[in-house]
C-alpha cells in the first residue's frame, strides 16, 4: 500500500447498502477501506469484491489462531479479493509466519497488531508491544498496527519498527488527533466513526485529509 491521502476508513457499519454507498462516495479519497467483523458477519465475505471496486480492502480480522487455521483464514480472505489482512502477533512467530506465507503466495500484505489503542491495552498487550514489533519484522510482515491514542508510545514503536509501515487507529472517536499521529510516526491513520457517523462522510474525509496535508 503506497501512501497518498494517508487515510484509511474503518467501515464498521452493518448495513450492506450503507457500506456500499459510503464506499462509492469516499473510495476515491482514501488509501484503503478497512473491513472488520461487524460488516463481514452481517454481509458475508462476498462484500469484499464489491467494496474493492472503489478502493483497496484491508481485512481487519485480527487473526489469532494456530498456524493451520491462520493459513485457512488468510486463503479465504485473499481469495475473496482483500489486499491485506491484519493478524495478532501474540499468538507467536509460527502463527504470524503462516499468514505471511499465504500473503506471499497471493501477492498480498500482512499487518501485525502491536499495542492496541483502547485503555485495556495497558492491562496486558502494552508490556509486549516491542516484542510484537520484532515478531512482525522477523516474519516479514508489511507493517504493524500501533495506537493513535498514545503518540509517545507510537513514536517508540516507530523507532523499533525500522521500515515497517505503520497503520494507526484511534483518531477521532477514541480521542487521537490526525496530524499528531502522523508526526509521531504513522504512515496511515485509520478512522471509523468520525467519518461514517458524520452527517456528510465525504466532507469529513476531506477535512481529515486536509489536516494530514497541513
Residue positions in the annotated binding site for substrate?
12, 34, 60-69, 117, 169-179, 192-193
For position 10 contacting ligand 3DU by CB under 6 A, the verdict is: yes
Nearest to 1 by CA among 27, 40, 32, 25: 32
Q: Which is nearer to ligand 3DU, 136 or 190 (CB)?
A: 190
Q: Which residues contact 12 (CB under 8 A, 6 or more apart)?
A: 36, 38, 39, 192, 193, 196
State which residue, 105 or 147, has the beta carbon closest to ligand 3DU.
Answer: 147
Sole window of 68-76, 128-136, 172-180, 201-209 interacting with ligand 3DU (rule: CB under 6 A): 172-180
Largest CA distance in the chain: 45
Residue number of the CB closest to ligand 3DU reads 192
Burial (CB count within 10 angstroms: exposed 0-12, middle 13-18, buried 19+), residue 44:
exposed
- For residue 47, the Cα-to-chain-centroid distance in whole angstroms is 17
- Write out the three cell numbers for 186: 504513522
DSSP code, position 199: S
Q: Single out the residue of 182, 190, 204, 208 in contact with ligand 3DU (rule: CB under 6 A).
A: 190
Closest approach of ligand 3DU to the CB of residue 105, in Å: 25
* Residue 174 binds ligand 3DU, judged by CB under 6 A: yes
Annotated binding site: 12, 34, 60-69, 117, 169-179, 192-193
String marking each residue 18-37 x if it binds ligand 3DU according to CB under 6 A: ------------------x-
Cell numbers for 175: 480521542
Active site residues: 60, 62, 65
CB 40 within 8 A of CB 65: no
The least distance separating ligand 3DU from the CB of residue 154, rounded to whole angstroms, comes to 11
Q: Which is nearer to ligand 3DU, 32 or 68 (CB)?
A: 32
Q: Which residues contact 105 (CB under 8 A, 6 or more apart)?
A: none
Q: Which helix (H) or strand (E) is 51 found in, with range?
A: helix 47-52
Closer residue to ligand 3DU (CB): 13 or 74: 13
Q: Which long-range contacts (CB under 8 A, 24 or more apart) does 120-123 make?
A: 121/147
Select from 82, 116, 135, 205 the one that contacts ligand 3DU (CB under 6 A).
Answer: 116
Q: Does 191 bind ligand 3DU (CB under 6 A)?
A: yes
Which residues contact ligand 3DU by CB under 6 A? 10, 12, 36, 60, 113, 116-117, 145, 147, 169-170, 172-174, 190-193
Amino acid at each position: 500500500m503506497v501512501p497518498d491521502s494517508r487515510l484509511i476508513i474503518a467501515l464498521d457499519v452493518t448495513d450492506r447498502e450503507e457500506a456500499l454507498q459510503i464506499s462509492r462516495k469516499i473510495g476515491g479519497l482514501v488509501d484503503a477501506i478497512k473491513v472488520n467483523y461487524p460488516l463481514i458477519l452481517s454481509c458475508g465475505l462476498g462484500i469484499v469484491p464489491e467494496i474493492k471496486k472503489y478502493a483497496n480492502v484491508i481485512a481487519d480480522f485480527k487473526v489469532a489462531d494456530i498456524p493451520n487455521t491462520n493459513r485457512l483464514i488468510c486463503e479465504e480472505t485473499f481469495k475473496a479479493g482483500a489486499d491485506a489482512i491484519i493478524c495478532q502477533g501474540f499468538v507467536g512467530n509460527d502463527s504470524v509466519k503462516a499468514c505471511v506465507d499465504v500473503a506471499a503466495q497471493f501477492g498480498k500484505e500482512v499487518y501485525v497488531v502491536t499495542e492496541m489503542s483502547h485503555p485495556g491495552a495497558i492491562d496486558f498487550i502494552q508490556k509486549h508491544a516491542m516484542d510484537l514489533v520484532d515478531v512482525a519484522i522477523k516474519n516479514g510482515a508489511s507493517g504493524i498496527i500501533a495506537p493513535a491514542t498514545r503518540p509517545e508510545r507510537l513514536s517508540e514503536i516507530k523507532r523499533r519498527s525500522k521500515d515497517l509501515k505503520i497503520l494507526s487507529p484511534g483518531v477521532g472517536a477514541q480521542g487521537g488527533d490526525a496530524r499528531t499521529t502522523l508526526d509521531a510516526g504513522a504512515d496511515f491513520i485509520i478512522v471509523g466513526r468520525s467519518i461514517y457517523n458524520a452527517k456528510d462522510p465525504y466532507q469529513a474525509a476531506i477535512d481529515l485529509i486536509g489536516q494530514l496535508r497541513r
